[in-house]
Amino acid sequence: MEQKRIIIAIDGFSSTGKSTMAKTLARRIGYAYIDTGAMYRAVTLYCIENGLAAADGTIDEQRLTQQLDKISITFGVNAETGQSETYLNGRCVEREIRDMRVSGLVSNVAKIAAVRHALVAQQQAMGKEKGIVMDGRDIGTVVFPDAEMKVYVTASAETRAHRRHDELLAKGDTTVTYEEVLQNVTERDRIDTTRAESPLRRADDAYTLDNSHMTIDEQNQWLLDLYHKIAGE
């Protein structure tokens, strides 16, 4: 049976592996992949580099709102690795947006209404032709409430902190402790689920994927099976 092109929305908490599983699924089914978290991280990096983030973590919302039209976020494929990379105003920032400095501020930036409205409009434009996998916090609830396939990914805070810490160690960052990562994860959870603008929540028609005790291969197969079930109907 020929499978129809659909929109796949993958939402959930930070450090659940959403982006990795979304990339894998997109590659296996020939869909475009959009990392919305990277878009918010790129705006956060812009704030840091342009003096819009204070030492206490507060963001100068007024100046940021005035400068949003100066922020261009695009994605490109690395010819050597075949992986999607994030570009901020034409500069590849894939590595910079993953460090703890950005991680500690991104939820503060993402809760700003003007930022969310600007990025949601870009994301909706990207999905007009369908055939995309998009992950984030509000894809199935705000960006694409009519998406044919919605997945809500969760795992314990401790499990996610261990994964994130292992990731940082693998990249050579030995300055951040597990306890600091756990604190960052739990604080981001608090901000993401309680913010006034598009809080993280499970869409009523979303499938829940708790991958606390799943291997990467198991969760990838779970997603692929769900896609075949939905797109083949």
Q: In a 3-state reduction of DSSP, which class is residue 86?
A: strand
């409205």: which residue's tokens?
117
Q: In a 3-state reduction of DSSP, which class is residue 216?
A: helix
pTM for this one?
A: 0.81
Q: How confident is the model at residue 224 (pLDDT cuts 50, 70, 90)?
A: very high
Q: In a 3-state reduction of DSSP, which class is residue 107?
A: helix
Q: How confident is the model at residue 76 (pLDDT cuts 50, 70, 90)?
A: confident
Residue 102 has pLDDT above 80, yes or no: yes
Mind listing the pLDDT tens digit for each residue in 175-217?
Answer: 989 999 999 999 999 989 998 888 899 999 999 999 999 999 9
Mind listing the pLDDT tens digit for each residue in 125-158?
Answer: 989 989 999 999 899 999 999 999 999 999 999 9
- For residue 135, the cross-strand partners are 10, 35
pLDDT of residue 3: 74
Whether 215 and 20 have beta carbons less than 8 Å apart is answered as no
pLDDT of residue 1: 55
pLDDT of residue 229: 94
Q: How confident is the model at residue 173 (pLDDT cuts 50, 70, 90)?
A: confident
